[in-house]
Amino acid sequence: MTGVMLFHAEGWDGVSHFVGKQKEYTKEAFFNECGLDFEDCQISPSLSDVEERYCRFYPKMPEGFEIESGYTFCDKAPGAFAVWTIDVRSIRQRDCDHDYLLRKGYNRSMEWCRKCQHHRDVITADAV
């Protein structure tokens, strides 16, 4: 694994995480390297959104994965390496303005939110 990798989660349309090895990047350099892709992912993260996790290559993925082999997150263990990551899904859900619209008096219903791409209580177009 070299450079910034883009992880894709099952059931998620597009990039779910930016991931880069800590041996290759400082936290700030990783954030800046990802910056060109933030607009494409419709997110506005800050440096505080960069998290430390562990990752490893699986020649045979654990049960439940759609792919046969590849990189994925894991616990700190033999074969794992430290990475910086930005969770696109969490930022999209955080930045989605559901709560603001609810406070303004809009109704909620269970629908697919196109902005944060998450099945949750979302706002309908009908004002209360």
Q: Are both 44 and 28 inside the same structural domain? A: yes
SS3 content of the chain, % helix, strand, coil (to 5): 25, 35, 40
Q: Are both 18 and 75 inside the same structural domain? A: yes
What is the domain extent for residue 106?
98-127
User: Tell me, what's the pLDDT at 21?
Assistant: 95
User: Tell me, what's the pLDDT at 122?
Assistant: 45
Q: Are both 73 and 119 inside the same structural domain? A: no
User: Tell me, what's the pLDDT at 113?
Assistant: 55
Q: Are both 74 and 58 inside the same structural domain? A: yes
Q: Are both 80 and 59 inside the same structural domain? A: yes
Q: Are both 15 and 71 inside the same structural domain? A: yes
User: What's the number of domains the chain is made of?
Assistant: 2
Question: Per-residue pLDDT for the chain (128 aa), expressed as one digit of tens each?
Answer: 678 888 877 655 677 889 999 999 999 999 998 886 777 777 788 899 999 999 999 888 878 777 788 888 899 999 999 999 999 888 877 766 555 555 555 555 544 455 555 444 444 444 43
Q: Are both 46 and 78 inside the same structural domain? A: yes
Q: How far apart are CA 55 and CA 93, in angstroms?
A: 24
Model pTM score: 0.70
Q: Are both 109 and 57 inside the same structural domain? A: no
Q: How far apart are CA 2 and CA 26, in angstroms?
A: 14
